[in-house]
Structure 1
Amino acid sequence: MRVLIASAGSRGDVAPYTGLGVRLAEEGHDVTIATHEPFAELVRGCGLGFRALPGDPRETLRSEDGQRWSQAKSSSIGMVRQLKMLGSHMREAAFAVAEAAEAGTDVLLLAPMVSPIGHPVAQGLGIPSAGVFLSPAYPTREFAPVLSKGGSFGPLGNVLAARAMSRILAATFASGANAVRERYGLPRLSPGQALRQQDAENWPVFHGYSEHVIPRPADWRSGLQVTGYWWPHLSRDWQPPTELLEFLDAGPPPVFVSFGSMVPGDSERLGQLVATALRQAGVRGVVQAGWLGLDVASDDNLITIGDAPHEWLFPRMAAVVHHAGAGTSAAALRAGAPAVPVPVLADQPFWSGRLHALGVATPPVPMRTITADRLGAAIHAAVTDPRYRERAEALAKLVNAEDGATGVVEFLRRV
C-alpha cells in the first residue's frame, strides 16, 4: 500500500515517523513522509519518499512572532501566540496536504498538527486515515491536557479544560479544513461538529509512547490506542565526529545539554549560564547548539557539537539536560539516562512533570526562571543521587521491550 505520513513542526515532530516509516516499509508498504523542506534529507536518508509542506519552522521560531511565543511568561499566553501564528497559514497548509495526498496515497497517517486538515483530505479522497500522535490528545479525567502546565485540575476540571482546548485548536484549523471540504464538495463543519464526527466514526488514533510512561486512560473511547514508542531511524551512513569521540574517551561520562528547537532569547547569555552550571556541578559537558545556536567556550571539560543522533549519544551520558519535548524525553527514557528538564512552552511542562513523577528526572527548572545556581544544583543531583539512574535504567528496559509499530502495522493489514 502507498502510505503517506504527514507531520509539521520541529525535528522532534518528524524524526519518530522515520522509524515508523522504515518499519512499515519493511512490511512491504511504499512509505512517504510529507513535512517541511528542511527535513527532506532526514527523510530521504532513511530510504523513504518525501513530499514538501510549506514553511520553515526554524525561521518561524526566529521571527518576531516566534520569539514572542517562545518567551511567553505563561502557557496560556504562549498558546494564544502560537495559534495566531498557525492560523495565518492554515489554508496554504491544507492545500499542500491535499496535493501531497493526491500524488498517490492509499492510506493517510496524520500527526497532531496536521490531523484537523488531513482528516477531511482523506474523506474527500475516499481513503482510510488514522492519527499517529506523540502525546496524549484526548480529554480524560485522569490528568490535565498536555498544553496546560500539567498536573491536574481535578477529574471534572481536566475534562472541561481538555474539551475547551480541543475546541480552540479546532477553531484555529477550521478555515483550512473547510477550504479542503469545499475542494472535495464536502459540507462545511464547525469545529465542534468536526470533533464529534471523528468521535462518532471511532476514528483510530495511535499514540506513540509507552503505557509504562503514561497508562491509557480508562475513560478514553474505543479507537484510541497507546502503542509504545516509535524510535527515530538511525542512518547507517552517520559517523560521530572525531573531535566528539576524542572528548568522550578523555574522561568520565559527561552531561549533555540542549534545548533542541527552542530559541528562548540570547544564545550567548544562555551559553554562559550553561557553562557556569556545568562547572558548578563539577561535571564535563557536551553542549548541542540546537536551533538557538547555543555555544560554550570549549576546553578540556566542555565541547559544543552540532546535530548528533540522541540514540547514539544519550547512552554515553551521565545525565541529560533538555527542554522536555516529547521526542527528546523519549530518547532519554530509551537510553536510561537521568534527566534535568528545562521546559520552555507547549507540551514541555507536561512531559517535565511526568518524568519527575516517574523518578527519572529532577524537579523541572523552567526556562523562564533558570539561573546557573538552580541548573547546577539540579545537574549535581542528577549525577550523584543513584536513584535517578536506577529508575531510569529500569524504565528503559520496559520501553525498549515494546514494539510500538505493531498497532499501526495491524491497522494497515485491516484496511
Structure 2
Amino acid sequence: MASNSSSSSSSRHVPRLNIVMQFVGTRGDIQPLIAYGQMLQNFGHRVRFATHNEHRALVTNNDLKFFPLGGDSQKLMKYMVTCGGIYPTIGAVLNGAIGENNEAISEILKSTWASCIDPDEVTNDGFFADAIIANPPSFGHIHCAEKLRIPLHIVFTMPWSETINFSHPLARSAYRVEESPRRRAESYQSVERFMWTGSHRIVNDFRKNILGLLPLSSEQALRMMNDVPHTYCWSPSLVPKPNDWGPNIDVCGFFFLYDKTDYPVPRSLMDFLDSGDPPLYIGFGSISGHDERKLFRTIIRALNITGKRAVVSDKLIAPDTEVPENIHPCGNCPHDWLFQYVSGVCHHGGAGTTATGLRAGLPTIIVPFFGDQYFWSDIVEKAGAGPPALSARSLHTRHLVDAINFISDANVKARAQEISRKMRDEHGCEAAMRSFHQQLPLDAMQSDLEETYPACYRIPKYGLKVSWPVAQILLGVESVFLDDLLPCATCEWNPAKSFNLSIPPLYRTPDRVLPYTEDQRKKIIAAFSDVINKVPQK
C-alpha cells in the first residue's frame, strides 16, 4: 500500500520524469502502448520502453528508447493458447510447458529491475526510473517500485480490478447477465491466488536475491496491488467504468498508433479490393499453436456458401496451399489502412484489433483463443456489433456461415457505425496521461529550489528535497557535499518495513549535460543561499 496520496488537481506542476514502461505481450498488445509512450515523451518525460526483443524495431522506429525484457512473447502466447488461459491443462503438465513458462517469468522479473536502473544498452546513457508504468504480466513492476520507492501505474486492455460487473477474463467466465455478481467479484481473487500459488517461489526469490526485499506471504501478495492506480485503455462508451471501482481506477479510451510512413500497397491487393464488393477481413494476429490448415479449409467453405470474398492473413495460409480467387492473402498490412476497404472483420479478439475494427465501424466476428479475447467477444456481442463468439478449437463451417450472415445484417452494421462515432470522440492517450499525472504523489515529488525535475535527494540539515540537476549544481559550487545527500522516497509501498535504498546516480541525461542555462543556475544557487540564511545556526 502506498503511503503518499496523489494530488487530485490537474493544475499542479508535473515534473519531467524518467519513466520506464514495462510491457509483456504480442505485437498487437505492444503497438497501441507505443502511442501512449509517445504522448508521455511529447509532454517532456524521458521514456524508456521495456518489452520483448522481437519488438525492438517497432519501438525504435517510433522514436522511443528500447530496453529488452526477458521472455519470448510467442512462447508465452503458445502456452496460453494450449491451456486456453492461465489454468494449465494435463497436456501442459506432461509436455513441460509449465516449467518453460516459469522460466520465462523468472527472466522477465530480472529484466524489469534492470530496466529501472541500467544504462542504455546502445548509448550507455545513464537511467534511473522516477516512475513505472506497466501491465500486470510484466510481474516485476510492484516489487521494483517498492525497492525504489517510486510511483507505479498499471495500464491494461482487460479488467484486472475486482468488480461485480464482469468476471476476470482469465477465469474463463463469460460476461453474462445471468452470472451472479458475487461470482464475478470472486473470480479476481481466484485468478490472483492461482497466479501467486504458481509463481510465489520465483517472485520471492527475485525479491530476496535481486532486490534485497523481504519475501511476501500469500496474504501480503494478494492485497499489495489494491491501491495501485490503474488505467484501462478501452472505450468508456463501450465498457463504462464500473460503479464499484474507486478513484484510483480510470477508463480512458483505446490507444491507436498509426503508421507514420505511407504503406506500400501491393498492386495485387489493391486490384482485389477494387474488383468487387468490399470483402471481409479474416486473420488471427500473431496467434500461434492452432491448426491453420484446418481453419483455412473452414474459411474457404464458409466463403463459398455465403458468396463472400475475403482478405485473409497469410499466417492462416500454409506455403503449399492453393488459394481460391475469392481470397487474397495479406501479409503485414496496417489494419487502420486495410479496414477502410472491407465490409466486416473476423479475428481473434485481441484488444487492439477489436478497437481498430470498431473504430472503422465494422461489424465483428470474434474467434477467441484465450484470455481477454473471450472478454472482448462478449463485449462486442453485448454491444450488438457481432454474433456470439465462435470456438477456435472447433470452428465449424456452419457456425462461420451463420456469423457472416449475422454481420451482413443492416442493423448490425448500423450499430457498428454508432460505436465508431462515439469512439472517434474519445482520445485515449491524452486521457491516460491525465490519469497518470493526477495519480502521481506530486507533493512528495516536488523539488525545492527548482521544480522542473522530481525530487530524488534529501538534504536533511537544510530541510530540502532536490532534483538530480539541482543537487549537481550545489555540489559543483561546494554548497553541499555527497555526504549531505540522502535518497528521497516519493512513494512508500511498504511503509511498515524499512529497506536500504541506494543513492541514485547524479547524472540522468545524455552526455552529463545539466539542463539549465547559466541564469537558471545562478537563480538556483541564490535560492539555496536564501534557505541557508533562514536556517538557525548552531
Q: Same fold (TM over 0.5)?
A: yes
258-267 vs 6-15, which moves further: 258-267
1:125 to 148, 155, 162: 148
- Decide which of 175, 179, 185 is 2:212's aligned counterpart: 185
Q: Distance in 2 between matches of 1:48 and 1:280?
A: 47
User: Which of residues 236, 243, 247 in structure 2 aligns to 1:218?
Assistant: 243
In structure 2, C-alpha distance between the alignment counterparts of 1:20 and 1:74, rounded to whole Å:
27
Mapped partners of 1:43, 1:73: distance in 2: 29
Percent identity, please: 28
Question: Given the alignment of the two structures, is residue 387 of structure 1 paired with residue 411 of structure 2, yes or no?
Answer: yes
Contact 2:350–2:373 at 8 Å: present in 1 too? Answer: yes
Seen in structure 2, the aligned counterparts of structure 1 residues 213 and 376 have a Cα distance that, compared at 3 Å, is same
Paired residues of 2:386 and 2:406 also in contact (CA < 8 A): no
Partner residue in 2 for 1:13:
29
Higher normalized contact order (CA 8 Å, seq sep 6+, divided by chain length)? 2
Q: Which residue of 177, 188, 192 corresponds with 1:166?
A: 192
Q: Using the alignment, how far apart are the partners of 1:374 and 1:75 within structure 2?
A: 27
1:102 to 117, 125, 143: 117
Structure 2 match to 1:37: 53
Residues 71-110 of structure 1 aligned to structure 2 (within 5 Å): 71-72=82-83, 76-77=87-88, 81=92, 85-103=100-118, 104=127, 105-110=129-134
Provide Cα deviations, 1:89-139, integer angstroms capped at 9, x if missing partner. Answer: 22221111110111222221001211x321111221232211011111111
TM-score, with structure 1 as normaliser: 0.90
> Is the contact between residue 71 and residue 105 of structure 2 (CA under 8 Å) also seen in structure 1?
no
Distance 2:71 2:213 in 1: 27
Offset at residue 255 of structure 1 (A): 0.2
Secondary structure in 1 matching 2:145: helix
Question: Could you tell me whether the CA contact under 8 Å between 1:270 and 1:294 is conserved in 2?
Answer: no
Contact 1:315 1:336 in 2 (8 A): no
Is it true that 1:396 corresponds to 2:420 in the alignment? yes
Please state whether the residue corresponding to 1:218 is helix, strand or coil: coil
SS of 1:33 mapped into structure 2: strand
Shift of 1:85: 4.8
2:157: which partner in 1? Answer: 134
Query: Which amino acid is 1:94 matched to?
Result: L
Matched, 1:406 2:433: no
Between 385-394 and 145-154, the greater mean CA deviation after superposition: 145-154
CA distance 1:186–1:327, shift in 2 (3 Å): same
Q: Which residue of 2 aligns with 1:267?
A: 292
Partner deviation per Cα, 1:203-228 (whole Å, 9 max, x = no partner): 11111011111111111233111111
For structure 2, list consecutive stretches of 5 or more residues without a partner in the other structure: 1-16, 119-126, 443-538
Offset, 1:79: 11
Go from structure 1 to structure 2 and tell me whether the alpha carbon gap of 1:223 and 1:258 turns closer, same or farther (over 3 Å shift): same
CA contact (8 A) 1:83 1:169 kept: no
Deviation at 1:342, TM superposition (A): 0.9
Greater CA drift, 176-185 or 340-349: 176-185
Aligned to 1:195: 222
The C-alpha deviation readout for 1:310-350, integer Å capped at 9, x for no partner, is 11112321110011122221121111100111112222222
Write the deviation string for residues 170-214 of structure 1: whole angstroms up to 9, x where unpaired. Answer: 333433432342233322112431232232xx2111110111111
> 1:293: how far off?
5.3
Q: Which residue of the partner structure matches residue 344 of structure 1?
A: 369
Structure 1 gap segments, 5+ residues each:
none
Residue 229 of structure 1: how far off its partner (Å): 0.9
- Residue type at the aligned position of 2:102: G
Matched, 1:151 2:166: no
- For residues 140 and 333 of structure 1, the distance between their equivalents in structure 2, rounded to whole angstroms, comes to 25
How many Å separate the matches in 2 of 1:237 and 1:106? Answer: 36
Q: 1:23 aligns with which of 39, 42, 47?
A: 39
Q: What pairs with 1:326-345 in structure 2 (closer than 5 Å)?
A: 326-345=351-370
Q: TM-score, normalised by structure 2?
A: 0.70
| 2-structure distance, mates of 1:231, 1:74 | 26
Question: What letter corresponds to residue 353 of structure 1 in structure 2?
Answer: D
In the aligned structure 1, how far is the partner of 2:270 from the partner of 2:399? 30
Instruction: Mark the CA change 1:314 to 1:303 in structure 2 (over 3 Å): closer, same or farther.
Output: same
Looking at CA atoms only, which structure, 1 or 2, has the larger radius of gyration? 2
SS in 1 for 2:243: coil
SS of 1:43's equivalent? Answer: helix
Q: Distance in 2 between matches of 1:144 and 1:352?
A: 14
State how far apart, in whole Å, the 2-side matches of 1:41 and 1:237 are: 17
Distance 2:108 2:135 in 1: 14
What SS does structure 1 have at the residue aligned with 2:265? coil
Which structure carries more helix by proportion? 1
Task: Give the whole-Å Cα distance in 1 for the aligned partners of 2:341 and 2:246.
Answer: 41
What is the CA-CA distance between 1:72 and the residue it aligns to?
A: 4.6
- Which stretch shifts more, 223-232 or 51-60? 51-60
